[in-house]
Amino acid sequence: MTENENTSNDPIIICEDVHKWFDDFHVLKGITTTFKKGEKAVICGPSGSGKSTFIRTINRLEEHQRGTIIVDGIELTNDLRNINLIRQEVGMVFQQFNLFPHLSNLKNITLGPIRVRKLSKRKAEEEALALLERMGIADQAYKYPSEISGGQQQRVAIARALAMEPKIMLFDEPTSALDPEMISEVLDVMRELAHSGMTMLVVTHEMGFAREVADRVMFFDEGVVVEEAVPADFFDNPQHERTKLFISQTLQH
Amino acid sequence: MHHASNTMAQNSTKIPFWRDTRVLQVLFQILFLLGVFLLAGILYANMLKGLDNLGLNLKLDFLRNEAGFDVSDTVIEYDPSNTYLKAFIVGVLNTLRVSLLGILCATVLGLFIGISRLSTNWLVRNIAATYIEIFRNIPLLLQILFWYTVFGSLPAARESINLFDTVFINNRSIYFPSLQQTAGISSWVGYFYAAAILSVISIFVLALIFHRKQVERMEEGDDIGYFTHVTRAAKWSIVPVFFIVAIIGWFLAPESPFVLGRPELQRFNVEGGIRFSAGFISLLIALSVYTSAFIAEVVRSGIQAVSKGQREAARAVGLSTGQTLRLIILPQAVPIIIPPLTSQYLNLAKNSSLATAAGYDDLFRIGSTILTQAGKAIPVFAMVMANYLIISLTTSAAMNWYNRWVNRFNR
């Protein structure tokens, strides 16, 4: 499947000169970019470069202080109604999974659909079981998060985000907290999701995944986008010194 | 190989007992306990001898004597001609009343203020912080006297403050409406029993129906617990069947089985309704407010102990702030809160012995009166202490049970 089949030209996320400060620390220094419907963007960069903060501003887990972010036609402001609408359109997967430990895997997934989408319990459970089937872990539905492996937990977390039927999925270093042998099972699920046409913004150090799946790789450093390009150009022909250094350091091991 | 088994044999058999830690540990514990019992025995024998010299004894038969003193605010009926034992029971019940109500009020207040303490709203957050710092840092005795003084400055009985003809307050008491039985009660009780029997039948029938589905779901690997169908049957029986029959019975009875007895202001005093003394109310307010400040801090630390990622994940699936608190944060905070909350409950129950300051006749105050009148210091003190011990241990046991129940899913 090529990028043309499921990437349209309609923009779904528009960022215009986005700035963010943590007290005196200037984390994002004017990010301007547009993501198209169905686009897969991989965001990489050294730690502290603002890459996680950037995707967290897109569902307003972090507030930006200057500039505009428009997600699917809704501008992110302090309007509570807009924030709630955005959160239903944007799913998020965290580095530490953040599953709810007091709820079974199935209930982790059905909570949002029942409480926010107002589905019946039966309908929500049907959908959740179908999602777990898709993630390859249908047999773990009635266990608790603490009873399954990290790779399985992250797949439950992906199912939980998908259960809200989002238009956009944000992944914040989804494989960084996993043991090496579990990384591929999570990447497989993300690859399948990418082929289904989902718009995805992925912060990751998995360069193999980026090369294979991404339409665009963005390199963040010190709060700015230093370089962005299609994976082939980005990895084989980087323009900036910092990008070259980062790629050589990342690919060394 | 031979060498290894040789050393092992040496370890298990050849240590002389005065060097064997296992023997020594047990030995020292036995010696210590013997010492404690010996000391206690000497003290007890000495006390008996001393009491004998004074012409006193430890017998409890004085409890059958007439008390002769009045108690102003009681849960059960009591008059001065009753025995010391009855007076003592009145004291126990008074302590239980103020402790249980105090625990209830302090928990509700504390939960509310603890959550407010973490509000994103500046004003709410700082009002909660001020409340906590004021009431946590003023001695409880002072707070009891403060509320008692506030009560004392209210109008006298004949000019009682009248709140909507329902609640009356004066400098001695506060009156609330009370439920009073009428002649209609006897026929309503019939419907009440009928309701109970019908809902039990309904539970059995529904449980049988639900049982088949239960078996199916469990065969599918659904870990829903064996008695889920019984609880579901109970829910669907008790709520509709019991309540509907009981409510229909209420209206079919010749006369409403209970009426609201409102207090009325007479010429010199308030009559009817249910009366609480100023001492009780000021003690209750002081205990609740003082303890709620501590409970608020317990609640706050429990909520903060739940990781930030949980809140973010809840917000990311679209839950509102209230839903996040109720469905995600509190269920995880409660198991953390329970142990320190238990010690706050125990503190409240024991602090209720400051009732004397407000002139409320609790266990300690009545115990002191009996002690002075009957001159039986040791038995009375022992009884009072035993009662506080029982109250505290029961509270602990109940909270431990609740803790296990709350943690039943944390594996």
Domain holding B302: CATH number? Answer: 1.10.3720.10
Question: Same structural domain for residues B403 and B295?
Answer: yes
Question: Same structural domain for residues B137 and B230?
Answer: no
Asked if B222's CB is within 8 angstroms of A142's CB, the reply is yes
pLDDT over threshold 50, residue A1: no
Average pLDDT, chain A: 88
Q: Confirm whether B63 is domain-assigned.
A: no
Q: Confirm whether B166 is domain-assigned.
A: no
Q: How far is Cα B362 from Cα B316, in angstroms, rounded to an integer?
A: 53
What share of chain B in percent tops pLDDT 90?
Answer: 33
What share of chain B in percent tops pLDDT 70?
Answer: 90
pLDDT tens for B81-97 read: 888 888 889 889 989 99
| Average pLDDT, integer, range B191-210 | 80
In chain A, the residue whose alpha carbon lies closest to the alpha carbon of B316 is: A87
Q: Is B301 within 8 Å of chain A by CB?
A: no
Contact A117, A128 (CB under 8 A): no
At A58, list the tokens.
């897109």
Question: Same structural domain for residues B132 and B237?
Answer: no
Q: How far is Cα A206 from Cα A204, in angstroms, rounded to an integer?
A: 5
Question: Same structural domain for residues B106 and B149?
Answer: yes
Asked if B411's CB is within 8 angstroms of A102's CB, the reply is no
Q: Confirm whether B13 is domain-assigned.
A: yes
Give chain B's domain count.
Answer: 3
Beta-sheet pairing, A216-221 with A224-229:
antiparallel
Question: Same structural domain for residues B303 and B362?
Answer: yes
Question: Same structural domain for residues B315 and B404?
Answer: yes
Closest Cβ–Cβ partner in A96, A116, A143 for B317? A116
Q: How confident is the model at residue B1 (pLDDT cuts 50, 70, 90)?
A: very low
Domain boundary among B201, B236, B261: B261
Q: What is the pLDDT of residue A42?
A: 94
Question: Same structural domain for residues B309 and B381?
Answer: yes
Question: Same structural domain for residues B29 and B108?
Answer: no
pLDDT over threshold 70, residue B43: yes
Q: Which amino acid is at B132?
A: I
Q: Confirm whether B47 is domain-assigned.
A: yes
Closest Cβ–Cβ partner in B223, B307, B318 for A87? B318
In chain B, the residue whose alpha carbon lies closest to the alpha carbon of A109 is: B317
Q: Is A14 within 8 Å of chain B by CB?
A: no
Contact A87, B315 (CB under 8 A): yes
Residues of A in contact with B410 (CB under 8 A): 101-102
Domain boundary among B210, B228, B261: B261
Residue whose pair of structure tokens reads 């609480």 in the numeric block: B276
Contacts from B102-108 at CB under 8 Å and sequence distance 24+?
B102/B284, B102/B287, B102/B288, B102/B291, B102/B348, B102/B352, B103/B291, B103/B345, B103/B348, B103/B349, B105/B284, B105/B288, B105/B292, B106/B287, B106/B288, B106/B289, B106/B291, B106/B292, B106/B295, B106/B344, B106/B348, B107/B292, B107/B295, B107/B341
Q: Confirm whether B227 is domain-assigned.
A: yes
Q: Which of B206, B259, B258 is nearest to B232 (CA)?
A: B206
Q: Confirm whether B359 is domain-assigned.
A: yes
Residue whose pair of structure tokens reads 């409880």 in the numeric block: B140
pLDDT tens for B5-18 read: 455 545 556 788 77
Q: How confident is the model at residue B222 (pLDDT cuts 50, 70, 90)?
A: low
pLDDT over threshold 90, residue B378: no
CA angle B178, B182, B184 (to 5 degrees): 135
pLDDT over threshold 50, residue A80: yes
pLDDT tens for B146-194 read: 999 988 888 777 777 777 777 887 777 788 877 777 777 777 777 778 8
Q: How confident is the model at residue B268 (pLDDT cuts 50, 70, 90)?
A: low
Name the region of A136 (left: φ>0; alpha: ψ -120 to 50; beta: rest).
left
Q: How far is Cα B229 from Cα B68, in angstroms, rounded to an integer?
A: 58
Three-class DSSP category at B359: coil
Within its chain, how far is the Cα of A155 from the centroid? 13
Q: Confirm whether B75 is domain-assigned.
A: no
Burial of A153 (0-12, 13-18, 19+ CB in 10 A): buried
What are the start-end ranges of the H helices in A44-79? 51-58
Question: Same structural domain for residues B41 and B149?
Answer: no
Asked if A100's CB is within 8 angstroms of B310's CB, the reply is yes
Q: How far is Cα B328 from Cα A97, in angstroms, rounded to an integer?
A: 15
DSSP state of B89: H
Domain boundary among B229, B261, B293: B261
Residues in A 187-246 with any Cβ partner in B closer than 8 A: none
Question: Same structural domain for residues B287 and B403?
Answer: yes
List CB contacts of A223: < 8 A, sequence separation 6 or more.
A26, A27, A28, A29, A49, A50
Domain ranges, residue B239: 181-261
Contact A76, A86 (CB under 8 A): yes
Q: Which of A84, A96, A91, A171 is nearest to A131 (CA)?
A: A91
List CB contacts of A128: < 8 A, sequence separation 6 or more.
A106, A109, A110, A113, A141, A159, A163
| Average pLDDT, integer, range A59-76 | 88
Question: Same structural domain for residues B250 and B138?
Answer: no
Q: What is the pLDDT of residue B109?
A: 95
Q: Give how far A92 is from chain B: nearest CA, Å.
A: 6
What share of chain A in percent tops pLDDT 90?
Answer: 54
Q: How confident is the model at residue A108 (pLDDT cuts 50, 70, 90)?
A: very high
pLDDT tens for A126-137 read: 999 999 999 999
Asked if A144's CB is within 8 angstroms of B318's CB, the reply is no
Q: Confirm whether B266 is domain-assigned.
A: no
Q: B301 or B8: whose pLDDT is higher? A: B301
Q: How far is Cα B334 from Cα B108, in angstroms, rounded to an integer?
A: 14
pLDDT over threshold 80, residue B234: no
Question: Same structural domain for residues B106 and B148?
Answer: yes
